[in-house]
Amino acid sequence: MMKSKRVLFSSVIAVIGCVCILIMNMHYNVLARYPWQVELSSKETELIKAKLSQKEIDYIIDYSIAPSFFMDFIEVEGFNIYYVSEYRKIYDNYSYQLSREATVILVNRFIRENISIDDLLVYVANGYSYDELIFYLDELVDETKLVHDPYSIQLMMEEEETISNFQPKDLVLLEDLPQVEHDVELHLRNVAANALYEVCSVLESDVAAFCGGLQIKQAYVSYNQVVGFKDYQQGLSVLLVIEMESSSYHENRTVEWLQENAHHFGFIQTVIENAGEVVEFHLRYVGIDYASGLFEGE
């Protein structure tokens, strides 16, 4: 009899203990040790509990990570609490350019590809768009290296380098200049276009022929259209053609003038092709100082 009472008593105590533990668990606050707990709204508290695992909650507690540091991103798909300093670094500098979602996706992808977040900062600062960076990561990252500044007028890309499917934002339509194909719209970056207008104006005066008899065959081309010289995609290169039907003074003078004076307007000649009656000039704008230095052998 006594033994049965003891068993019953022990059972009752065990049940009471379990109930107490259950009640304690029901009221246990996983954020009790979080330094910013009192500053959290009820919505923020529920978001943290819903979006972060216990291990991740312990992480923000142990490292005293303020909610203002990560709450902007916690609802974004793919959010990783361990990358929050990288998210913050990008978003704080370029929120006008990248959304929270874009920031999370780019940071996650760059870390996955073992590319420095400092490189990502440089890419965004120098004008790459979200779509251009994603295109590089999706299509080109295994074979090429993305150059830091696609707007650099001195950029000469090596074979293993790329500017992704970058399109300059300062392209302008070339108007009132002679073209080989009159129904095609040709564009250059503003700085190169202005220099080309100056070349044509001076040539017309010196050679007494409209733009010295030159015609534009090619200017800016998009990534998908690039064949041959990749720098056409930069919007700084132009292919000029002059017909040499005879050895007249004007036509020969145009060729000579370009060779002697193009650098004064910031252009260098990277290719000259003489195909009998037609001469093609590939001119690349690099700026007056740089072009003059190259011309003079500096």
Q: In whole angstroms, give the CA distance from residue 214 to residue 204.
A: 10
170 compared with 11, residue with greater pLDDT: 170
228 compared with 121, residue with greater pLDDT: 121
Q: In whole angstroms, give the CA distance from residue 265 to residue 243.
A: 23
What pLDDT score does 200 carry? Answer: 92
Q: In whole angstroms, give the CA distance from residue 238 to residue 187.
A: 9
Task: Evaluate if residue 21 carries a pLDDT over 90.
Answer: no
- When pLDDT is averaged across residues 279-294 and rounded to a whole number, the result is 92
β partners of residue 173: 187
Encode pLDDT of 76-85 as tens digits: 999 999 999 9
Least Cα distance to 124 among 90, 92, 157 occurs for 90
Q: Rounded to a whole number, what is the largest CA-CA distance in the chain? A: 131
Q: In whole angstroms, give the CA distance from residue 89 to residue 106.
A: 12
Cβ-in-10-Å burial (0-12, 13-18, 19+) of 3 comes to exposed
Residue 9's Cα: distance from chain center in Å?
72
Q: Residue ranges per domain, the chain?
A: 24-162, 171-295
Least Cα distance to 84 among 61, 102, 60 occurs for 60
- When pLDDT is averaged across residues 224-233 and rounded to a whole number, the result is 75
Output the pTM of the full model: 0.82
Site of tokens 């293993």: 160
- When pLDDT is averaged across residues 195-210 and rounded to a whole number, the result is 88
Contact 261, 237 (CB under 8 A): no
Contact 268, 248 (CB under 8 A): no
Q: In whole angstroms, give the CA distance from residue 95 to residue 87.
A: 11
The yes or no reply on domain 171-295 and CATH 3.30.1380.10 is yes
Task: Evaluate if residue 279 carries a pLDDT over 50.
Answer: yes
Cβ atoms within 10 A of the Cβ of 47, count? 16
254 compared with 115, residue with greater pLDDT: 115
Please provide the DSSP assignment of the chain as one string. Answer: -HHHHHHHHHHHHHHHHHHHHHHHHHH--TTTT-TTGGG--HHHHHHHHHHS-HHHHHHHHHTT--HHHHTTTTTSTT--GGGHHHHHHHHHHHTTTS-HHHHHHHHHHHHHTT--HHHHHHHHHTT--HHHHHHIIIIITTT-EE-S-TT-TT----TTEE-TT---TTEEE--SS-BSSTTS--EEEHHHHHHHHHHHHHHHHHHSSGGGG-EEEE----GGG--S-GGGGGT-EEEEEEE-SS--HHHHHHHHHHHHHGGGGTEEEEEEEEETTEEEEEEEE--HHHHHHHHTT-
Task: Evaluate if residue 14 carries a pLDDT over 80.
Answer: no
Beta-strand pair 267-275/278-285: antiparallel
User: Over the chain, what is the mean pLDDT?
Assistant: 86
- When pLDDT is averaged across residues 3-22 and rounded to a whole number, the result is 49
Would you place residue 266 in the very low, low, confident or very high pLDDT band (cuts 50, 70, 90)?
A: very high
